[in-house]
Amino acid sequence: MVSAGEGEPDAPPGVDRIAGGGGLLEPADQEETMAERLSGEARRAALAELAGWTEVEGRDAIARTFTFKDFNAAFGFMTRVALVAEKNDHHPEWRNVYRTVEVVLSTHDAGGITARDIALAKAMNAIAG
């Protein structure tokens, strides 16, 4: 989907754009707010708002398994997420087997979970419906 005259794809329902940047992650200022690892309390608070996501044992990461009707729906989900991830230069670790997509999110440069991971998880939830 492209808005008339903008040349940028429309955000999926429930996914906000970065102010001024045309990206699809929150918050508005990626550079300043997304580099720091979330503290334990901030991570727990963020996870409480993310349906289906859990902490990965033994690693500073979050994970979720999405299950779809069939392979086509799973692959379509991955394609839509890939566009968001590429646009925001933040890519998931994931695995697809038939109708399931297993996802792990962690910001490697920061050594753990950051606001970028939380924002991508929210976008994935919105895309999955």
Question: pLDDT by residue (tens digit) across 40-74?
Answer: 889 889 999 999 999 999 999 999 999 999 999 99
Fold annotation for 30-128: Gyrase A; domain 2 (3.30.1360)
pLDDT tens profile 23-32: 455 444 444 4
- Predicted model pTM: 0.74
Whole-number Cα distances in Å, 27 to 31, 40, 88, 91, 115: 10, 20, 12, 17, 8
What's the one-letter identity of residue 4?
A
Express as a percent the part of the chain with pLDDT over 70: 73
Sequence ranges of the domains in the chain: 30-128
